[in-house]
Amino acid sequence: MVETKKDLRAFLADLYRIAVDAAHPAAFLPRLLPDAPKGRVIILAAGKAAGSMAEVAETKYLDALKLPAERLSGIAVARHGYGRPTRVISMVEAGHPVPDAAGLKAAERALELADAATADDLVLVLMSGGASANWIAPAGSVSFADKQAVTRALLRCGAHIGEINTVRKHLSRIKGGRLARHAAPARIVTIGISDVPGDDPAVIGSGPTVPDPSTLAEARAIVAKFKLGLPPAVVAALNDPANESPKPNDPAFSGSKFVLAARPADSLKAAEAAIRAAGYECISLGPDVEGEAREVALAHAGMARTLRAQGKRAVIMSGGELTVTMRGKGKGGPNQEYALALVPALAGMPGVAAIAGDTDGTDGGGGSATDPAGALVDGDSAARAKALGLDPAAFLANNDSTDFFAKMGDLLEPGPTYTNVNDFRAIVIDRP
C-alpha cells in the first residue's frame, strides 16, 4: 500500500516510466521488421522515435541478418536532442513543433532516396509522432517561411491534431500519401508508433505513405473555423485542385503496407497492470481523451472527489492529446496546463496526487530537448503555492504553467524518451 504523499508521487512517476518503456522501439520493433529484399533496404524515418527506430533497424539488418552495409541506406530525422548514434543511416535533428531548415533538407533527401528506389528494393518507413514537423516539403509556391507561419497559427488557435494535419497535408509534397508516389514501384512497408487518438495511419505523421481521406475543402473549412490569417501563397495552395492528396484508389498504394507497432492503449495497459498490482482499482478513461486541458482537468478532479467520498482507493488514468488555446504570453504545454488547473481543483484533499506528462519527454515549450514533459501535483499543492506567494489562477490566465511548476519544484523532467505515444495522465486517490 502507498502510504505517504512522497510515496504517491514516486508511484505516479513509476507509472509514467512504465508507460514510456512499453512504447520504446526496443520493446517491439525487432519482430516487426521485414526480411531483407533482393535489392536494397532504404530506411526513411521521421518523428521523435526516428533515431531509436533506425538504431533498432540497423541492429536487425546489419547484425542479425548480416546485410552488407552497402545494401542499407537511409535518413532519420527527429526533433533536436532526439538523435541516436546510427552507423549507416544518416541522423538529422530538426525543429519541433515549428519546423526548421534541417527538416526541410531532410525531407528533400528522403524524397530523393524514395525516387531512386527500384522494384527490387524495400522502402522501410519508420513513423512516429513529430514527423509532421520534421519532414517539411512545401507544395507549389508555398515558402518555408509560409509553412512555419501556418504551423504557429495552428498551434496557437486550439485546433486538435487531426485538424492541424489536414491543413498540413494539403500544403506538402511528402505528407498525405505523397511519399508513396515517390517510392513506387518499390515495396513499401511503414511501421508506425501512434501518438494520435484513434491510431489512424492517415493522421500519424500526416500519413506520408497511406491514402488520405481528408480534402482541400476540409482544410479550407478548418482555416475558416479558426479565422486564421494565412499568407497569400497558402490560401492559393488550398484553393488549387492540384494539391488534393491521393486517395485509396491511387496505384501508388498497391505495393504499400502499414503496420501499427505501438499505441497509446498499449502503454495504458502496461500502467494498468502496475496499478492493479499495487492494490488500486484502475479507472481507465482510455487513450483517446481530447479537449481543452483546463476543462478536462476539472472533470477529472470531480471524478477524484467522488471516488474519495466513496472511500475508494483508485487511480484515474487517461491518454489522448489535450489542447491549449493560448490567451496569455506564458510557456507550457497541455500536460502542464492540465496539472495547473488541478492545483485548486484538488486543494485540501490529502491522499490524492496526480501526474500529467507527454510520453516523448517534452510538453510544449520552445522545442528544446530539455523542456519539461509535464508536472506532478497533490492535494497540498494549493497551500504550498499560497505559502510561496503564487496564485495558480493568475498563472493559468497567462498560460504560464512551466514557470509556476518551476517555482514549485514540481516539473516532470525525464529528458528525451526516444518514443511518443501521446499523453499519460493519472490521479491516485488513497486514504489520507
Dist CA 412 CA 391 (whole Å): 20
Residue at which a domain ends, from 225, 249, 264: 264
Q: Domain holding 113: CATH number?
A: 3.40.50.10180
Estimate the crossing angle of helix 161-169 against helix 144-157, to 10 degrees: 160
Q: Do residue 288 and residue 408 come from a single domain?
A: yes
Listed in sequence order, the residues at least 6 apart from 63 whose beta carbon sits closer than 8 Å to its beta carbon are none
User: What amino acid is encoded at 177 in this protein?
Assistant: G
Q: Do residue 204 and residue 276 come from a single domain?
A: no
Which 8-state DSSP code applies to residue 310? T
> Containing H/E element for 332?
none
Q: Do residue 231 and residue 331 come from a single domain?
A: no
pLDDT, tens only, 82-108? 999 999 999 999 998 889 999 999 999
Q: Do residue 218 and residue 139 come from a single domain?
A: yes
Dist CA 284 CA 296 (whole Å): 14
- Three-state secondary structure call for residue 62: helix
Please check the confidence at residue 4 and state whether its pLDDT lies above 70.
Answer: no
Q: Do residue 91 and residue 208 come from a single domain?
A: yes
Q: Do residue 299 and residue 256 come from a single domain?
A: no
Q: Do residue 334 and residue 372 come from a single domain?
A: yes
- Number of neighbouring beta carbons within 10 Å of residue 397: 12
Listed in sequence order, the residues at least 6 apart from 168 whose beta carbon sits closer than 8 Å to its beta carbon are 132, 150, 151, 154, 175, 206
Q: Which residues of 100-116 are buried (b: 16+ CB within 10 A; e: fewer)?
A: bebbbebbbbbbebbee
pLDDT, tens only, 371-416? 999 999 999 999 999 999 999 999 999 999 999 999 999 999 999 9
Which 8-state DSSP code applies to residue 172? B
Q: Do residue 284 and residue 379 come from a single domain?
A: yes
Q: Do residue 88 and residue 227 come from a single domain?
A: yes
Dist CA 324 CA 423 (whole Å): 14
* 140 contacts 215 by C-beta, under 8 angstroms: no
One-character DSSP codes across 148-161: HHHHHHHHHHT--H
Residue at which a domain ends, from 231, 246, 264: 264
Domain of residue 306 covers: 5-21+265-429
Q: Domain holding 353: CATH number?
A: 3.40.1480.10
Dist CA 54 CA 73 (whole Å): 11
Which 8-state DSSP code applies to residue 233? H
Q: Do residue 259 and residue 270 come from a single domain?
A: no
Q: State pTM to two decimals.
A: 0.90
pLDDT, tens only, 216-275? 999 999 999 999 999 999 999 999 999 999 999 999 999 899 999 999 999 999 999 999
pLDDT, residue 2, reads 47
Please check the confidence at residue 1 and state whether its pLDDT lies above 60.
Answer: no
pLDDT, residue 156, reads 85
Q: Do residue 224 and residue 270 come from a single domain?
A: no
Q: Do residue 235 and residue 353 come from a single domain?
A: no
Dist CA 430 CA 421 (whole Å): 27
Strand residue runs (E) in 101-254 = 122-127, 187-193
* 421 contacts 267 by C-beta, under 8 angstroms: yes
Residue at which a domain ends, from 211, 230, 264: 264
- Number of neighbouring beta carbons within 10 Å of residue 252: 19
pLDDT, tens only, 262-313? 999 999 999 999 999 999 999 999 999 999 999 999 999 999 999 999 999 9
Residue with cell 547484425: 63
Helix %, strand %, coil % of the chain (to 5): 40, 20, 40
Residue with cell 502496461: 270
What is the number of structural domains in the chain?
2
